[in-house]
Amino acid sequence: MEHVAWIKDFLVFLAVAGLAVPLLHRFGVSQVLSFLVLGIAVGPFGFGRLSRDLPWFSDLTLDDPERVAPFAELGIMALLFLIGLELSWSRLALLRKYVVLVGGAQFAMSAAAIGIGAALLGSGPAAATVIGLALAMSSTAVVMQIIESQGRTATHLGRVALSILLLQDLMVAPTLFLTGFLGAGGGTLAEFGWTLAKGVALIAAIVVIGRYALGSVFRMAAQTGSRELIMAISLLVLVGFSILTARAGLSAPLGAFLAGLILSETEYRHQIEIDLMPFKGLLVGLFFISVGMTVDLEFLFKWLPQILGVAVLVIAVKAVILWSAARAFGVDGAESTEIALLLSQAGEFGFVALAVAAAGRVIEPGPVQFLTATIALTMIVTPALAQAARQVGKRLEQKANHASPRDLPDDDGIADHAIIGGFGRVGQTIAGLLSAENVPYLALEVNAAVVEQQRKAGQPVYFGDASRAELLERAGAKRARVFIVTLDEVEPAERMIRAIREFRADAVVLARAVDHQSASRFIRLGAVEVVPETLEASLQLGGRALEMLGASEDAVARRLAVMREQFEEAIKKGATPH
């Protein structure tokens, strides 16, 4: 009847993912936290315990963590694979400073501090060493899922966080080897070194073979016209590389990341990403459920003050060390604070390390259960920490902006230029058009990472909020010919338009709007021209369709002009365009 148990587990998971998580989301609970909490509920220590007295609860329970574990690990692998797809070798090379310096310093100092703390609390030298190494790791799955949900994977903060997590993944093998060595039946130091050397050689072989062979394989698959075949090869590469690195004693997620990184250089990366995305979401959700299943509520409540105290200490110690390491190697204050809070939890690898330590009798079963509950608790509170980190980061950026506008030029040297408020994709596109026509411009942007990147590229971009009068004055707003507001958030854009008009009543303000409602509001605030995001795209797409259907270019141009005029008139009147 094993297949019946599988079907029942699958139905429970679908009920959680399809019904319970969306319900909690309506009450403002994040997706990650929802899966963690529901994992506790449907696990062997939640409904599983109730099923002893109420047998019908067994139909709502995932009672065997071993059945869930393979799919949970596949979720982590899928997450790392897709993260690798978004990177490239050139971008990864830029991260080497953060991987080696920030990641290395964080891991070494965190392991030492936590290990010393464990020793002071009564653990032996071997147990304290393993505890320090296990809890120095952060949760790749939790952190990257949060960063991805915020749309910040490709930002400077996302890349620094990924760098630290990559170093931690590279330390999985040494930590496991050392844990086995310290326990009963551990290998020799020579075996430790030999296995580690084999792992490094395997990574090099994967990289070389993957870069030069996979492109040809995918091209042959693409020639068949079958998306299913490309999907099958993608999964083969993902799982195959993961198995190879796991067999070499390294982590399986590291192999998945390498697979994604190699495929990021091919022309099929976007198709692969689209095809795998739905599976990734479900599998990562299953991983979070599996973490929740490890939490024994009875044990947790019995030792809650002690577990809570240790969890707070771990988070605090790691946060301080992460912040110090990031600041020491050039990460600005706002991002360092966010990274410190985001990565301050213990990670899923801690469960594996503690299990190996328990099997080798390095740590007794009681402390292992205590530490397992502590790790799970730090992961459960991470979504709340992430929200706090986001708010603190924004306040620090605003404070820096208020205290010292970064390198804004002297007002006396600027005239007859455009001021661009916000330098995201839209702002950068507009800047390209202005540059092509030799029109001078100056951009203000509140994202420090974007400013740093664009300044290195030679763009006249400065850190600052264009809704502040003193910054507008420093940017030469008195003599600017036009102001262009490109923000995609309505309230900040409104503040910017209002500030510009208050600073200079005759200012020519052009603005990007999300929809016709916000466009009407911008017009009432004083914007001269407002373009809703969907307007031009819709008109151009419709125009091309008319041309394909046989309409002449002149007829299409006239029709577009009429439609554009009707839209603009409706926006000015505050009506809904038709």
Question: What confidence tens digit (pLDDT) does each residue in 285-313 have?
Answer: 777 787 778 778 888 888 889 999 999 99
CATH number at residue 237: 1.20.1530.20
- 431 and 345 within one domain: no
Mean pLDDT of 478-504: 86
Residue 405: per-residue pLDDT: 47
Residue 476 lies in a domain: yes
Residue 549 has pLDDT above 90, yes or no: no
- 241 and 179 within one domain: yes
- 191 and 101 within one domain: yes
- 261 and 163 within one domain: yes
Considering 375, 398, 421, which residue would you say is the last residue of a domain? 398
CATH number at residue 441: 3.40.50.720
- 348 and 231 within one domain: yes
**Strand, coil or helix: 15:** helix
Residue 94: per-residue pLDDT: 66
Least confident stretch, 17-21, 129-133, 185-189, 307-311: 185-189
Residue 314: per-residue pLDDT: 95
Considering 398, 432, 448, which residue would you say is the last residue of a domain? 398
Residue 544: per-residue pLDDT: 78
Residue 385 lies in a domain: yes
Mean pLDDT of 203-212: 77
Q: Which residue has the higher pLDDT, 120 or 202?
A: 120
Q: Which residue has the higher pLDDT, 30 or 237?
A: 237
Task: Give residue 478's domain range.
Answer: 404-573
Considering 398, 414, 436, which residue would you say is the last residue of a domain? 398
Residue 445 has pLDDT above 80, yes or no: yes
pLDDT, tens digit, 9 for 90 and up, residues 62-94: 777 677 777 777 777 777 787 777 666 666 666
Residue 55 has pLDDT above 50, yes or no: yes
Residue 116: per-residue pLDDT: 94
Residue 70 lies in a domain: no
Residue 569: per-residue pLDDT: 74
- Tell me how many domains the chain contains: 3
Residue 71 lies in a domain: no
Residue 350 lies in a domain: yes
412: confidence class by pLDDT, cuts 50, 70, 90:
very low
Q: State how far the Cα of 209 lies from the Cα of 342, in Å rounded to an integer.
A: 35
pLDDT, tens digit, 9 for 90 and up, residues 91-110: 666 677 788 889 999 999 99
Least confident stretch, 184-193, 250-259, 406-415: 406-415
Least confident stretch, 126-135, 323-332, 410-419, 560-569: 410-419
- 430 and 374 within one domain: no
The most distant pair of C-alpha atoms in the chain lies apart, rounded to whole Å, by 85
Residue 372: per-residue pLDDT: 84
What distance lies between CA 196 and its chain's CA centroid? 30
Angstrom distances, CA of residue 70 to CA of 184, 284, 351, 390, 444: 27, 12, 15, 33, 48
Q: State how far the Cα of 371 lies from the Cα of 401, in Å rounded to an integer.
A: 42
Residue 196: per-residue pLDDT: 67
Residue 275 has pLDDT above 60, yes or no: yes
Q: Which residue has the higher pLDDT, 475 or 265?
A: 475
Residue 396 has pLDDT above 70, yes or no: yes
Q: Which residue has the higher pLDDT, 345 or 286?
A: 345
Residue 343 has pLDDT above 90, yes or no: yes
Say what percent of the chain tops pLDDT 70: 85
Residue 404: per-residue pLDDT: 45
Q: Which residue has the higher pLDDT, 3 or 418?
A: 418
- 129 and 25 within one domain: no
Residue 509's region, left for phi above 0, alpha for psi from -120 to 50, else beta, is beta
Residue 410: per-residue pLDDT: 46
- 418 and 381 within one domain: no
- 337 and 208 within one domain: yes
The sheet with strand 461-463 has its strands ordered as 461-463, 441-445, 418-421, 482-485, 509-513, 529-532
Q: Return the closest-CA partner of residue 371 out of 356, 390, 384.
A: 356
This prediction has a pTM of 0.59
- 271 and 292 within one domain: yes
Residue 362 lies in a domain: yes
pLDDT, tens digit, 9 for 90 and up, residues 277-286: 777 777 777 7
Q: Which residue has the higher pLDDT, 122 or 132?
A: 132
Residue 243 lies in a domain: yes
- 559 and 526 within one domain: yes
Residue 185 has pLDDT above 90, yes or no: no
- 155 and 277 within one domain: yes
Residue 406 has pLDDT above 50, yes or no: no
Residue 411: per-residue pLDDT: 46
Element (H, E) at 425: helix 425-436
Residue 423 lies in a domain: yes
403: confidence class by pLDDT, cuts 50, 70, 90:
very low
Residue 439: per-residue pLDDT: 79
